[in-house]
Every structure is written in structure tokens, then in C-alpha cells.
Amino acid sequence: MAYAQVRGFPDRVEVVQERTAHRPRAALADRLARLSLAGRLRPCDPEQAAEHFLALLTGPLESRSGLGTRRVPMAELRDLADATVDTFLRACGNQ
């Protein structure tokens, strides 16, 4: 719905992104920075790593949910989350 309204309400884009993307990404980046400092992740740019993690999660979710128009079963959400973490750790993990 937000994508469809961008042309008519361009000033709302930042409001939507602040609530749905910027805040969660900042919180995740903080956690990833801590994990990197603790040696649990390879040294990285935490903002970029958070952006990549969220893209791995939200890309398939947007597709499977028809951009939020269909409910995704809980088991499928868990599988998607597990696959996201697995892929991310293969790329950024320190083990």
C-alpha cells in the first residue's frame, strides 16, 4: 500500500521507512557491531551487514506474501528466518 501511495504522498515515504526500515536496521546494526567486536562475526560495516540481513529476510517475504496481501504460514516464516540466518552466517560468520 505504501508503494502505491508514493507518487501522491512523497513526504510519507520517510515516515514509513523510519518505522519499517530505519529503526529496525539501526537496532540490528548495533547488535551486529557488538557480535563483531566479540569475535562472533567477521569484522564488517554493521550498517551494511544489517541492510544485507534484512534484504535476505524481507525480499522473499514480500514475494511470498504478495507484498503483504497474503498471510504466510508460521512454519514458512520460521523456515525463512532460519534460511536467512544460515545464509548470513555463511557469509559473515567467524567460524
What are the pLDDT digits (tens) for 72-95? Answer: 999 999 999 999 999 999 999 986
Amino acid of residue 12: R
Average pLDDT over residues 44-57: 95
For the chain, the domain total comes to 1
Integer CA distances (angstroms), 66 to 19, 37, 69, 71, in order: 20, 38, 5, 9
**Which pLDDT belongs to residue 18?**
66
pLDDT at 1 over 90: no
Burial status of residue 51 (CB atoms within 10 A of its CB: 0-12, 13-18, 19 or more): middle
pLDDT at 69 over 90: no
pLDDT at 8 over 90: no
Q: Record the pTM.
A: 0.78
Higher pLDDT, 10 or 38: 38
Q: Identify the domain containing residue 11 by its residue range.
A: 2-92
